[in-house]
Structure 1
Amino acid sequence: MKPLKIAAAAALLSANLSAAPLNESDHSSAIVLAAFGTTYDSALSSLLQIQQDVQAAYPDTPVHFAFTSNIIRKRWQARRDDAEYRAAHPEVPESLYSVKNVLGTLADLQDQGYRDIVVQTTLLTHGEEFTDLLAYTDALAGIDTVKARWKPFNRIAVGRPLMGSWGPAFEYREDLAKLAESLSADVAMAKEQGAALVYMGHGNDHLSTGLYYELEELMNQQYPQVSTYVGLVEGHPDFDRLKSRLSEDGVTKVVLKPMMVVAGDHATNDMAGDEEDSWKVQLQGAGIEVTPVLKGLGETPQVRQRYLTHLADAADAAGIALN
């Protein structure tokens, strides 16, 4: 998204938020978008477009971001007093310079009179960060008081990650299939170039990353015309296994994209950088022609719709009205 478009989106969001009075009798519900965050202003469009879509769907409900990364929040807060940076980046919303974590954002909303909160994560999987998010929200939702009217929150609902969650409420395999459907434009781009489609996901070293294997399987079932591969920065399938599979399959040309909501540090450096350890350079060294595409998943309207669906599901299940 170009700076002018981002600025327009930010202005629209600012107008919507300022128009929503902080009055419990009028508006008791709010939405928090819980993202890891990014320090790359060039990657902000993915997050801003998600916020814009959510705000457009619920124009009378305030929508706030919370960044879970301590480092990223501190970087944005440091930029608050950097007049040169702010002048060079008018597209950045004012609220980002004081972005808080989930606890701080929920505390602010509670202080303003909001008692029903839907927290929608922009994470991909039910991994370490989402587990921690549930711990925070479950603890706050569980606070009880002697007199019911002093209970800080009525209800806090949490929308499941993009690739689904564990449990009987929603079939995670259906979420994976819907995500695969939303990636049809990537397949079309790779097909046009006569290339395989390779995604870099983040993953983790602590919990199973088997969802990525399943997503790859679904992609190849739905789009047999293009071979799709998924590798991870952390966990499995790792890059070495990915490179071996490409070699075994005789792949000589790939479109390389991040399987991440934003094209931030990992996408810019680890995936598409010019250092010898980047995926692009290593694949080129293996004789593979590489076309990196620095666009996060949040740039894709169909992916953003998946987040909206998960948010609506969480609100409905908790009986929270969003307007």
Structure 2
Amino acid sequence: MKLRSLFLAMIVLLCSAKAPLASEGWKVKHKNAIVLAMFGTTVEPALQGLLNIRTKMMEKYPETPVKIAFTSNIIRKKWQGRAEDPAYSKAHPEIPEDVLHVKTVLATIADLQNIGYDTIVIQPTHIAMGEEFLDLGTYVESLMHLGTVKKEKYKPFHKVVLGRPALGTYGLKHPYAEDITAAAEALAADAELAAKERAALVYMGHGNAHFPSGGAYLELADRMRELYPEVTTLIGNVEGFPSLEDVIDKLKMRGVKKVMLKPCMVVAGDHAMNDMAGTDPEEPSWQMILEKEGFEVVPVKRGLGELDAFAEIFVRHASDATADAEIVMK
């Protein structure tokens, strides 16, 4: 009996010696997620431009969570107020829950990290590289500097990467001129519609008074004129260069009489409804100013995100970011 007990004790001892402690045997399983960083919109129909991009991203990566985040504080607060209003939710059942309860980029990433996602691809839906894109770059840098006094595997994030805006960024990895050409090709439907109208195609971009994004818009317009020579394409910005006045001067030089006016923005939101095609005489819209200058104007209130070909640009840029960082996304 004693011999049997001794034999069992030896077996237990050997098994214990071979079995690692639970903490020592713990292995990190990296989990991937995508955050679409959008300026946002409060105009319900304009959401289609944003949701179309999300749909395309989900189709590309069906096994990966795709979350949306709005960078505009004003727009988020507007949606938060609507979310607390039962009457609004009842009147607008088409609004997705993640729009009603939309959060900041950092809050969205924090929610993902809290449930185990440590590899994040932030894909902006901006047109050009400006202050918001640069802000996102600081987020990525800061998150990747978060460390731990323990082992490397306990860091909050494994990888956080940032995709390019539609018109690209500066650098050697992905030439911005190629991104601009791809964007021009994605806008073929707009050029075709303008050709049917026998009108010049004039885009209203957002622009920026503090960053030289105007050159990218000018290059995009030039590329479109090369690809679609039957249509005069020009782009002006709400802020910065080129302005509407610059566009009007070029239209007159070319002898244009009719203009198809469209937002060079992902959504046809407040800028499209008011600045582009508004009717307030106290704050004349682009359409009103152009008509006063003698042009016939055909407004098209549809954001670029509603064009499947343009929405796919952001999917490709997210794919490039994952490939550059050697992230396997499914």
Using the size of structure 2 for normalisation, the TM-score is 0.89
Q: Does 1:74 align with 2:81?
A: no
Letter in 1 for 2:140: T
Question: Per-residue deviation at 1:91?
Answer: 1.1
Q: Does 1:268 align with 2:273?
A: yes
Q: Does 1:122 align with 2:128?
A: no
Q: Does 1:30 align with 2:33?
A: yes
Give the 3-state SS of the residue equivalent to 2:297 in structure 1: strand
**1:212–1:230 CA contact under 8 A, matched in 2:** yes
Letter in 2 for 1:231: G
Letter in 2 for 1:118: V
Tell me the C-alpha RMSD between the 2 structures: 1.3
Question: Per-residue deviation at 1:25?
Answer: 7.2
Question: Per-residue deviation at 1:27?
Answer: 6.7
**1:27–1:61 CA contact under 8 A, matched in 2:** no
CA distance in structure 2 between the partners assigned to 1:31 and 1:305 by the alignment: 15
Question: Per-residue deviation at 1:169?
Answer: 0.9
CA distance in structure 1 between the partners assigned to 2:108 and 2:264 by the alignment: 27
Letter in 1 for 2:302: K
2:156 matched residue in structure 1: 152
Gaps of 5+ in 1: 1-23
Letter in 1 for 2:154: W
2:62 matched residue in structure 1: 59
**298, 305, 320: which one pairs with 1:298?**
305
Letter in 1 for 2:133: F
Moved more, 32-41 or 273-282: 273-282
Question: Per-residue deviation at 1:98?
Answer: 1.7
Question: What is the 5 A alignment of 1:139-178?
Answer: 139-147=142-150, 148-178=152-182
Question: Per-residue deviation at 1:149?
Answer: 2.6
1:216 matched residue in structure 2: 221
Give the 3-state SS of the residue equivalent to 2:207 in structure 1: coil
1:138 matched residue in structure 2: 141
CA distance in structure 2 between the partners assigned to 1:47 and 1:102 by the alignment: 15
Q: Does 1:192 align with 2:207?
A: no
2:47 matched residue in structure 1: 44
CA distance in structure 2 between the partners assigned to 1:246 and 1:219 by the alignment: 16
Q: What are the superposed Cα offsets for residues 238-268 of structure 1, whole Å, 9 maximum, x if unpaired?
A: 0111112212222110100000000000011
**203, 208, 230: which one pairs with 1:225?**
230
Q: What are the superposed Cα offsets for residues 34-87 of structure 1, whole Å, 9 maximum, x if unpaired?
A: 000001111001111111111111111101001100001111011111111111
Give the 3-state SS of the residue equivalent to 2:239 in structure 1: coil
Residue identity (%):
49
CA distance in structure 2 between the partners assigned to 1:25 and 1:63 by the alignment: 22
CA distance in structure 1 between the partners assigned to 2:37 and 2:108 by the alignment: 10
Give the 3-state SS of the residue equivalent to 1:233 in structure 2: strand
Letter in 2 for 1:82: D
Give the 3-state SS of the residue equivalent to 2:160 in structure 1: strand
CA distance in structure 2 between the partners assigned to 1:95 and 1:284 by the alignment: 40
CA distance in structure 2 between the partners assigned to 1:126 and 1:32 by the alignment: 18
2:252 matched residue in structure 1: 247
Using the size of structure 1 for normalisation, the TM-score is 0.91
Task: Count the aligned residue pairs.
Answer: 300
1:289 matched residue in structure 2: 296
Gaps of 5+ in 2: 1-26
Question: Per-residue deviation at 1:145?
Answer: 1.6
1:104 matched residue in structure 2: 107
CA distance in structure 2 between the partners assigned to 1:40 and 1:27 by the alignment: 37
**279, 284, 298: which one pairs with 2:286?**
279
**2:30–2:119 CA contact under 8 A, matched in 1:** no
Question: Per-residue deviation at 1:302?
Answer: 0.5
CA distance in structure 2 between the partners assigned to 1:48 and 1:232 by the alignment: 24
Give the 3-state SS of the residue equivalent to 2:37 in structure 1: strand
Question: Per-residue deviation at 1:150?
Answer: 2.2
1:236 matched residue in structure 2: 241
**2:37–2:124 CA contact under 8 A, matched in 1:** yes
Letter in 2 for 1:273: G
Letter in 2 for 1:156: V
Moved more, 168-177 or 243-252: 243-252
CA distance in structure 1 between the partners assigned to 2:28 and 2:292 by the alignment: 63
